[in-house]
Amino acid sequence: MSQRAAKPGPATPERYQLLPPLTDDEFSALKTDIAAHGVLVAVEVDETGEVIDGHHRVRAWSELRAEGVRVADYPRVVRLFASEEDKLAHALTLNLARRHLTRAQRRDLVGRLRQEGWSLRRIGKVVGVHHDTVREDLRVVGNPTPASVSGSDGKRYAASRPAIFAANGRDARRAGQVLQVLGDDAPPRLLTVRRAEALGRYANMGRLRERHGRENGTVCAGEGFELRLGDFREVLADIPDASVDVVIVDPPFNDRSLELWSDISALGARVLKPGRPLVAYAGILRLDDHMARLGEHLQYVWTGSTEFTRPTFVHPVGIWSRWRPWLVFSNGPYRQGEAFHDRLMAGGQERTVEDHPWRQAVGPFRSIVKAVTKPGDIVLDCCCGQGTTGVAALSEARRFIGVDIDAAALAMATERLTGMETTAPM
């Protein structure tokens, strides 16, 4: 085997490559394998996208792409590090697990780590030799004296770090964004992009609540819409009886919220015009309870479904679900409006880390609004969240009243609805 070292590519930073580069033959074998099978071991990058481990894989992949070879984008693990020294330690740990060093290579590595400010004992622990051996290696290569030393008993680095697995470049960019949003709140474990973005949305909501500390009863109004902050059982008391054309709502569906469904039923019976519908997204596990609660003051009409492109795992029953039911009840005998389909598709809408954690796709809501109302009608959502029902209503030239108990959600809804074109002023 040739012992000539492969020249590093121009984009390969030396900062995190502490070990000797692959030989020509080793790099050629790696490149051939990637051409045949793709990059199988994920490249480790920091939250800005800088490569920490996997420089040779990235170089081989880049050369293949430049040569016209069709090879899939390489997977990444995006990690959040406390410092530059933390990045070096992590890169070294990964590389030493895969490489066997000669004595000369070990001495070169020991010298570089000493220049980085590592103590003798810490170097010995990582490299796998006694600290006396480290001292001897330094005597041979020269013993640089760093300005400061970071020892094993000094600053500690977590055994596991916040990290997100990304299957391609697009997911890596999403991972970098969410790590910057989470910051110190990022959990010290490996996450999927989807789970990390969910955590990021909750963190973002918390920050919004701190910025939008409004009192209950606050009203935000715009052309065609009105948003109210507070408990709908209180802040909608002034809505006249039999004045609303449809109630469309996506309430919480956990056990603690069952009583809320009874109150929604009572609200519908009071504010809905005779024969007009209430449409509510329901939870599959509590479907019987939700139907019973809504039926306390309203009449059952129908059950429809919204189907999603991505499944959600329902832990209590171990089932991957791709749909969610919505229930139609009416205030007295149902007055049929426009015919509509009971199977709606949510589409492939992606939520960003800035979205509400429970934000729904607009498409199904627009279909329902268009089917059960006419232009100028009033649409009410008493748990409006980020205002998806309002977007659907204003898009179809309906008027909208939304209520939520969360000031952050109302702030997001106000931003979404402000400036939307509508021909139905309040």
Q: What is the pLDDT of residue 348?
A: 46
Name the most confidently modeled range: 305-314, 394-403, 406-415. 394-403
Work out the average pLDDT over 266-280. Answer: 98
Given CA atoms 223, 229, 232, 233 in this order, what sign does their dihedral have? negative
Chosen domain end from 171, 203, 235? 203
Is the confidence at residue 331, as pLDDT, over 90?
yes
User: Is the domain of 34 the same as that of 109?
Assistant: yes
Same domain, 249 and 198: no
The total of structural domains in the chain comes to 2
The reported pLDDT for the residue numbered 143 is 63
pLDDT at residue 149 tops 70: no
| pLDDT over 70 (residue 265) | yes
Return the residue matching tokens 């989470």: 182
In a shared domain, residues 55 and 92? yes
Least reliable range by pLDDT among 10-14, 77-81, 163-167: 10-14
What's the pLDDT score for residue 110? 81
Closest residue by Cα to residue 182 from 42, 78, 77, 44: 78
The answer to whether 78 and 48 have CB atoms below 8 angstroms apart is no
- Which of 203, 229, 247 is a domain's end point? 203
Looking at residue 210, its pLDDT comes to 56
| Separation between Cα atoms, residue 121 and residue 57, nearest integer Å | 32
pLDDT at 382 over 90: yes
In a domain, 125, yes or no: yes
Q: Are residues 86 and 28 in the same domain?
A: yes
Same domain? For 224 and 198 the reply is no
List the structure tokens of 22. 């692959």
Instruction: Give the pLDDT band of residue 1 (cuts 50, 70, 90).
Output: very low
Do 272 and 413 lie in one domain? The reply is yes
CA distances from 274 to 51, 73, 202 (A): 64, 58, 39
Question: Residues 143, 231: one domain?
Answer: no
Q: How many CA atoms lie within 13 A of 66 on its CB side?
A: 8
Domain at 346, CATH number: 3.40.50.150
- Report which of residues 177 and 237 the model is more confident about: 237
Q: What is residue 100's predicted lDDT score, i.e. its pLDDT?
A: 65
- Do 324 and 303 contact (CB within 8 A), yes or no? no
Whether 169 and 234 share a structural domain = no
Read off the pLDDT band of 3 (50, 70, 90): very low
Q: Is 54 left (phi over 0), alpha (psi -120 to 50) or beta?
A: left
User: Does residue 70 belong to any structural domain of this protein?
Assistant: yes
- pLDDT for 65-92, tens place per residue? 999 999 999 999 999 888 887 788 788 7
In a domain, 10, yes or no: no
Is position 426 within any domain?
A: no
Residue 208 lies in a domain: no
Is residue 8 in a domain? no
Same-domain check for residues 174 and 248: no
- Return the top range by mean pLDDT from 52-61, 154-163, 339-348: 52-61
Asked whether residue 57 is assigned to any structural domain, the reply reads yes
d(CA 78, CA 247): 43
Q: Is the dihedral of CA 168, 172, 175, 177 positive or negative?
A: negative
**Averaged pLDDT for residues 2-30:** 62
Structural domain span for residue 255:
219-417
Over residues 177-188, the mean pLDDT reads 74
Q: Is residue 170 part of a domain?
A: yes
Q: Which residue has the higher pLDDT, 109 or 204?
A: 109
pLDDT above 80 for 185: no
164 and 67 within one domain = yes
138, 163: one domain: yes
- Regarding whether 146 and 233 lie in a shared domain, the answer is no
